[in-house]
Chain A
Amino acid sequence: MEYMSKPAKDKDYAPSAAEKRYKRSILIQSSIRFVVCLILSIICLLPLYIILINSTRANSDIIVNGLSVLPSDYFIENLKELNNPEAANGMYTSAYNIFYGYLNSLIVSLGATACAVFFSGLTAYGLTVYDFKLKKAATTFILCVMMVPMQVVSTGFLEFMIQIKLQDSYIPLIIPAIAAPAVVFFMLQYMKSSFPLEIVEAARIDGSGEFMTFLRIALPILKPAFAVQAIFQFVANWNNYYTQSMILLSNDIRMKTMPMMVSAIMSIDTVVDYGVKYMAVLLSILPIIVIYLCLSKFIVKGVALGAVKG
């Protein structure tokens, strides 16, 4: 916020007619920009608002009029219908199960996030604190592979996982997170700017083992970086439809994750209850939105942080 000091300087000028005209043009420009931003914000929120409102409306209502400004009182009914094993010949409950959806997505996301954050911290620590022959080569390698997308290895990945019988398991969704080049890169940058190497020396003199130094001293210092990356990794893994639907091949509802359930319920086209579908979508995005509302300032800052540093 350094630029805040600038208007103070402006006050030193004597107000003239030109100054007033200038100020008015600034005000007009500012208002125009405000209105444009407001419209864009409405566009950003409108689809979510429609989902929220329509999840409270009965199917018969939605069929007559797809949009409504005000909510109705069918929220609980839609929720019940979605979880009713008898509704629509059990099609809803065989495609969508809130409990398993949340549980499985949570297991996968938390597992992958913990792996990514902890081991990236470990890797970055190893590359920062120690001097060894392959240090430079290892760092360069990590930077180079940062951009390699999952899609280009997915065929070989899936075929390999099926060979070693790891399809329909969460292992291929969680363990690969241990090697997250982008997170390592972020941690490296963070350590470069805010990790004093002398502290490691001091710990050694006090007789701390190397791994203990990492756990007891480095981890607490790296906490802010961990927090930022943890949020982004959690969201990315929660939203990862591609890998999840690639690996989890069986039709067992108890194994599926939330994004897979949403796509499953959307592909039901023989029986259509729009209220139930809107409800299913609403429930799938609710946890992420709640997290976002709680941590929004932090997240918005983190995006830029990642950019400057990555």
Chain B
Amino acid sequence: MQNTARKPHKMVSYSKYGYFFILPFFLVYSFFMIYPLINTFVLSFKGNGITSDQFVGLQNYQFLLFGEEGQFSAGAAIQKEFLNCLGNTFILWVGNFVIQLLLSLLLAVWFSDVRVKIKGTGFFKVVMYLPNIITAASVAAIFLMIFGNTKYGAVNSMLLNFGWIKDAFPFINDAWASRILVMIIQSWMWFGNTMLLLMSGIFGIDNSIYEAASIDGSSGLHTFFRITMPILKPIFIYVVITSLIGGLQMFDIPYLLHEGRTIRPTLKTAAVFIYDNFHTAQPNYGYSATASVILFIITAALGVFIYKFNTDSTAPKKAKK
């Protein structure tokens, strides 16, 4: 308003409108994200269950990270569970990420290969992205029925009918079978997405570079490691970061992939731990808030680390030019 007053006539300042346009975003973000984030920090210093109103200082952090004296104490039990959940998250993420990345990298390179064309690329892309848009809750249900524990599960019934196994194999109840199943499901859901992301990076590479390389007699593998990968690095880092952050939040599939009412302890992830602790009749806000804060710190640290790693190693190259 002052601006308008100082510069009368022709010049009208519109800058105040900028604030009006971005106001709804920041109001809603403060109310539904920033305050809840602060609230999470506050709750992490408070008690659990019936003692939710009491201030307990760093006790939750101490319990989750270092446990408590005495084998049967509450702190020791919750530490064991939390560390188990962190371990599961890590195992499931690594397995899923390795399968998914190798597959999508291979496909991305194939689909954008100028020399060797594959028929029906458009169709393949559409089909391979399909699993990504299906509701994760339904995906869990689908695989739960296909890999059911009993002889009524689709795969078990097929294997039994062929006489390849004598008793039904508990795909869901077996610790490692279920973990591998989750890895496969996650890869099944996400490889199409990752492939499309990587492809967009590869298509961004100037074709003349490939032409120059082939004139210089560069082989396919050589071209991949010396040209495609270095140029693909930023988008590769992006894929790693998003997958990592997504992996730390992994919830739907591990949470829903169980028969009956109890969640498989070998599939409990950090996100399941958080959800489980506040989604009960007498919520343990303290534990779940503390776990949230720890997850937040891990996420932020990993993000910063990978970002730094990326910029540090590319900086000298730019300097040389």
Most buried by B among A181, A239, A277, A297: A239
Q: Which residue of B lies closest to A157 (CB)?
A: B36
Q: Which residue of A lies closest to B106 (CB)?
A: A36
A64–B151 Cα distance when bound, in Å, is 9
Binary per-residue interface labels of chain B (170-195) against chain A in the complex, 1 for a CB within 8 Å, 0 otherwise = 00000000000000000010001100
Chain B: interface residue count, which band? 35 or more
A119–B21 Cα distance when bound, in Å, is 9
A99 within 8 A of B: no
28 A-B pairs with C-beta separation under 8 A: A37-B107, A37-B120, A45-B127, A63-B152, A64-B157, A65-B157, A123-B21, A126-B19, A130-B17, A151-B274, A152-B296, A154-B278, A156-B43, A156-B292, A159-B283, A178-B28, A242-B271, A242-B275, A246-B275, A269-B259, A272-B152, A284-B141, A285-B134, A300-B125, A303-B200, A304-B199, A307-B201, A308-B201
Q: Which residue of A lies closest to B129 (CB)?
A: A300
A303–B26 Cα distance when bound, in Å, is 27
**Given A6-B114, A34-B120; A242-B133 close (CB under 8 Å):** no
The answer to whether B116 touches A29, judged by C-beta atoms less than 8 angstroms apart, is yes
Contacts of B148 in A (CB 8 A): 66
B36 partner, pick from A66, A160, A284, beta carbons under 8 A: A160
The answer to whether A152 touches B154, judged by C-beta atoms less than 8 angstroms apart, is no
The answer to whether A307 touches B196, judged by C-beta atoms less than 8 angstroms apart, is yes
The answer to whether B29 touches A179, judged by C-beta atoms less than 8 angstroms apart, is yes
Contacts of B122 in A (CB 8 A): 297
The answer to whether B40 touches A153, judged by C-beta atoms less than 8 angstroms apart, is yes
A179–B196 Cα distance when bound, in Å, is 26
The answer to whether A130 touches B292, judged by C-beta atoms less than 8 angstroms apart, is no
The answer to whether B199 touches A267, judged by C-beta atoms less than 8 angstroms apart, is no
The answer to whether B145 touches A281, judged by C-beta atoms less than 8 angstroms apart, is yes
**Given A47-B146, A130-B15, A297-B122; A158-B278 close (CB under 8 Å):** yes
Contacts of B259 in A (CB 8 A): 269
The answer to whether B33 touches A132, judged by C-beta atoms less than 8 angstroms apart, is no
A240–B219 Cα distance when bound, in Å, is 45
B155 within 8 A of A: yes
A155 within 8 A of B: yes
The answer to whether B135 touches A155, judged by C-beta atoms less than 8 angstroms apart, is no
The answer to whether B22 touches A156, judged by C-beta atoms less than 8 angstroms apart, is no
A107 within 8 A of B: no
Contacts of A47 in B (CB 8 A): 139, 142-143, 146, 188
A44–B192 Cα distance when bound, in Å, is 10
Chain A: interface residue count, which band? 35 or more
Binary per-residue interface labels of chain B (259-289) against chain A in the complex, 1 for a CB within 8 Å, 0 otherwise = 1110000000001001100110001010011
The A118-176 residues at the B interface (CB cut-off 8 A) are 119-120, 122-123, 125-127, 129-135, 138, 142, 145, 147-160, 172, 175-176
B213 within 8 A of A: no
B20 within 8 A of A: yes
Q: Which residue of A lies closest to B244 (CB)?
A: A147
**Do most interface residues of chain B lie in helix, strand or loop, or is the interface mixed?**
helix
The B12-50 residues at the A interface (CB cut-off 8 A) are 14-22, 24-26, 28-29, 32-33, 35-43
**Given A51-B142, A299-B129; A284-B135 close (CB under 8 Å):** yes
The answer to whether A179 touches B25, judged by C-beta atoms less than 8 angstroms apart, is yes
The answer to whether A267 touches B261, judged by C-beta atoms less than 8 angstroms apart, is yes
Q: What 4 new A-B contacts, CB under 8 Å, besides A142-B25, A147-B242, A297-B126?
A: A6-B207, A37-B110, A259-B138, A304-B203
B9 within 8 A of A: no
The answer to whether A307 touches B235, judged by C-beta atoms less than 8 angstroms apart, is yes
Contacts of A123 in B (CB 8 A): 21-22, 24-25
A26–B110 Cα distance when bound, in Å, is 12
B94 within 8 A of A: no
B295 within 8 A of A: yes
A147–B252 Cα distance when bound, in Å, is 19
Residues of A within 8 A of B (CB): 2-3, 6, 26, 29-30, 33-34, 37, 40-41, 43-45, 47-48, 50-51, 54, 62-67, 119-120, 122-123, 125-127, 129-135, 138, 142, 145, 147-160, 172, 175-176, 178-179, 181, 184, 204, 210-211, 214, 235, 238-239, 241-242, 245-246, 258-260, 262-263, 266-267, 269, 272, 274, 277-278, 280-281, 284-285, 288-289, 292, 296-297, 299-300, 303-305, 307-308
The answer to whether B22 touches A152, judged by C-beta atoms less than 8 angstroms apart, is no
B115 within 8 A of A: yes
Most buried by B among A156, A242, A267: A156
The B68-83 residues at the A interface (CB cut-off 8 A) are none
Contacts of A245 in B (CB 8 A): 279
B64 within 8 A of A: no
B169 within 8 A of A: no
The answer to whether B133 touches A288, judged by C-beta atoms less than 8 angstroms apart, is yes
The answer to whether A289 touches B134, judged by C-beta atoms less than 8 angstroms apart, is yes
**Given A132-B19, A152-B296, A262-B135; A33-B118 close (CB under 8 Å):** yes
B146 partner, pick from A50, A130, A131, A284, beta carbons under 8 A: A50
